Every structure is written in C-alpha cells, then in structure tokens.
Amino acid sequence: MKLGIAILAAGQGTRMKSDLPKVLHPLAGRPLLRHVLDTAQELGAARICVVQGHGGEQVRVALAGVDCDWALQAERKGTGHALIQAMPSLAGMDRILVLYGDIPLIRPGTLGRLIAESADRGLGVLTAITADPSGYGRMVRDHDGQVRRIVEEKDATEAELAIDEINTGFLVADRARLEAWLSQLGNDNAQGEYYLTDIVGMASAAGLTIATTQADKEEEILGVNDRIQLADLERRYQGRVAWDLMREGVTLLDPARFDLRGRLRAGRDVTIDINCLFEGEVDLGDGVSIGPNCCLRDCVIGANTRIFANSVIEEARVGQDARVGPFARLRPQAVLANQVHVGNFVEIKKASIGPGSKVNHLSYIGDARIGGGVNIGAGTITCNYDGANKHLTQIGDGAFIGSNSALVAPVSVGEGATIGAGSVIGHDAPAGKLTLTRDRQRTIDHWTRPVKAPK
C-alpha cells in the first residue's frame, strides 16, 4: 500500500498579524510546518505534497531541504480546492492522508490508528468529543450511529450545533474514490468555499461505512490561528517533552520551567534545574547536573559533570567530572577534557583545555591549546586577534599563569613554566622557569591628582 500525504498549508494567517507566513512561525524552535512534515515522514509516506499559497516562496526556501513536492493554491477557495491542487502530485498512490500545516502536535501513532482502522472502509475521519465544539464542524450520525455527513458551524442548525462530536479535519481515503468525490464538490454554502468535508456525505450516499478514530490527547487536534494559541501549544509541547524525559529517568526540578528546541539525549541520573533551554543536538552523560538558567546548544557534556547556574554552552564538548560556571560561557570549538574547572565569568572560544586544568575566574581563553594540570589565574586573557587575523596561544602541561596576565599570540608557554602576575607575554616563555614583565614599583613625589575646574 502506497501512502500519499497532502499537507494543506496555504492559509494566510491574518490573525497572527505578521509578515511571516503562519506555517513558518516557530514551535519549539522549528516551523509549525516542519513538525507536520516530520510526522508525515515518520509514517513512511511514499510521497508528500505540501499545498502552499500565501508567502509560498518564503515557505519553500525555509524548508528547502525537505523531501516533498509543492503545489500552489493561488486562490484560497477552501480545503477541498486546496486538496485538488495536490492530487496530480499524488498520482499512483493507493491512499491519501490529509494533514494541516498549522496543526503541529498530531502524533504519528494516532494517524497510524486512523489509517489502520479505515483500511477496509474507503474513508476514515479523525474526530473528537469536546465540551466546547464551537468553531468546528459537527459529525452528523444516524440512529444507528453511522456517520452521514459533516456540517460546518456556519451552516449548522441549532440541533446540529448541540452535537459534541467534532471533525478535526484529518482524514484518509482511497485515492481513486477521493478523486471522484473531489470532482463533485460545489461551493453552495455560507462561505462560498469548496469544503473537503462534503466528501463524507458523498461517501455515505454511496453506501460506504465511514470509519472514525479519536485522538488520544486534545492537544493533537489544536491548530494555530493567533499568537495566543501558538503560546498555548508551545507549553503543551514542552510539557509533553518534559514528561517523556522524566519517564526516561531525568529529574526536572520543575517541568513547567523547561524548554527544548531540538533533541536532548540524557543518561542515567541526570538532573536539570529550572529555566534551562536546550537547542539543537545536546548529549548529557550519566550523572550530569545542570544548574538553573543555563542555555546549552549543540554540545556534549561528559558523565558526572556539573554545569552551574547561568552558564551558556554552544557547540562545545565537555569531558567527565568537569565543573563549569556559574556565569561561564563556552563558545564554538571549546573542548574541555576530564576534570577541567571553568569558573565564573570565564569565556572559552576555539580552545582545548587539558585534563585537570583550571580557569576559575574572569578570564578569556580564545584560539588556544592548553595542556593538563595548568592553572590560569584570574583576569588572564589570550590576545588572539591583531585586528586582521587570529593567532594561537600554546601552554604546556603544568604551567602556572599568574593573575591579570596577557598572552599576546602567537606565543608559547613551556611545560611547568610560571608567568608572574600582571605580565604581558609577547615572546615564548621557556619551560620550568619564571617569566614576567612587571616593572619596578615606584612612588612619584609631589604628584597631584587632577580635579575638575569649577563651573
């Protein structure tokens, strides 16, 4: 069975009050439409066609790397009209599943049940029972409980408005039958649109029994029409992710204050404090502890390492049993070996730091190779940039860099060397020796501090 998936994503989204097409607004750091495309791919679709309209070129550029076809709905004449635009791309498919670019939390498992439970029916519809059906089409059933049609809210009678079973919009149908039904659609309704839901009445009139399946969670069928709904789905999504992580053994000190915008892989006995943000691909080893208010992006943290409060780590690797922060920043290509300590207000960029080394206070280390067992004193900087090019600083194993030192690259400090506090080192410092540039202290007699002239 070849499954084709049509994703209807042509809506303008006027209530978003934005120049950005609605389906490109981010949920957990990814466009709404990308979530739906990921779900479609997880279902193993043989072909996916996205129907785009408003801001179509912008949508295609933003999702250029996705394996799908694109169809244009130049005039928005309803969901039925939108699906008609996708059908040529889905020729040769056995069944067609219809998804929506602004309903991002639908689960593959729910759609899999819809497909399976309607396999011998020709048409399956995903429905929901809700205490507040306003805004949705209603499922009209006969006395035997069989679905006869779907009535849109604006066309419904008072009795039909009281029905609490709604149409979610998701459906799956045999392609040949679907093409025939689409060719018969009319627009004699309050909106003057070609309703996709009208095919349910056609299927019933043809004597088909229509299969209905219900979603496990309400959040799966919720769409985005404005920023309030987008914010609501963001929290629902983050709650879903948080519960999944806790089921896998991660401790979240407050799951309501956790955000993931990518993928997080965590080992055993990982603890994450409040207000932490994870972006891209993040790996946390066994026993890792993340303090409050941290941001981690595209990084790997080794086992039993502690990241203290208010630290930022991006495109970096940290070894085992290390200590980072508080208020530390690891920038791209920072590589910390096992048992490294990086303390408060320290910034590391494009530098490797060897096992057991310490950079504990108020320092900048950029474009550097630092050996093991090195101690870098407070206020030390590597002067890596000459205004045009970056240069390398190398520090050998066991070196001691005194506080408030400046290492002017390119420069090398030998193994076991000591740099005196307050030095500016512009030439290589030999191994095992003390090197310093400190001037002799002097006191200037008869000196007067300048004062401002009175106005």
Helix (H) or strand (E) holding 32: helix 32-42
What letter would DSSP give residue 247?
H
| Residues whose CB falls within 8 Å of the CB of residue 125, separated by 6 or more in sequence, listed in order | 139, 147, 150, 167, 168, 170, 171, 200, 210, 211, 212, 213
* Cα dihedral 250, 252, 256, 262 sign: negative
Q: Residue length, the chain?
A: 455
| Residues whose CB falls within 8 Å of the CB of residue 347, separated by 6 or more in sequence, listed in order | 328, 329, 330, 331, 363, 364, 365, 366
Of 81, 143, 361, 446, the catalytic one is 361
> In terms of C-beta density within 10 A (0-12 exposed, 13-18 middle, 19 or more buried), how is residue 455 classed?
exposed
Question: With contact defined as beta carbons under 8 Å apart, do 375 and 392 qualify?
Answer: no
Q: Name the phi and psi angles at 69, rounded to 5.
A: -95, 160
Alpha carbon 107 to chain centroid, angstroms: 17
Q: Name the phi and psi angles at 160, rounded to 5.
A: -70, -35
Largest CA distance in the chain: 109
Helical spans, DSSP H, in 248-322: none
β-pairing, 375-376 vs 358-361, is: parallel
For tokens 């994703």, name the residue. 7
Residue 241 DSSP SS3: helix
For tokens 């899999």, name the residue. 112
Question: With contact defined as beta carbons under 8 Å apart, do 275 and 257 qualify?
Answer: yes
Cα–Cα distance measured from residue 297 to residue 240, given in angstroms and rounded to the nearest whole number: 20
The one-letter amino acid at 271: T
Question: With contact defined as beta carbons under 8 Å apart, do 219 and 236 qualify?
Answer: yes
By C-alpha distance, which of 286, 360, 292 is closest to 323? 360
Question: With contact defined as beta carbons under 8 Å apart, do 187 and 75 qualify?
Answer: no
Question: With contact defined as beta carbons under 8 Å apart, do 102 and 204 qualify?
Answer: no
**Is-catalytic flag, 81?**
no
> In terms of C-beta density within 10 A (0-12 exposed, 13-18 middle, 19 or more buried), how is residue 154 classed?
exposed
Write out the catalytic residue numbers. Answer: 361
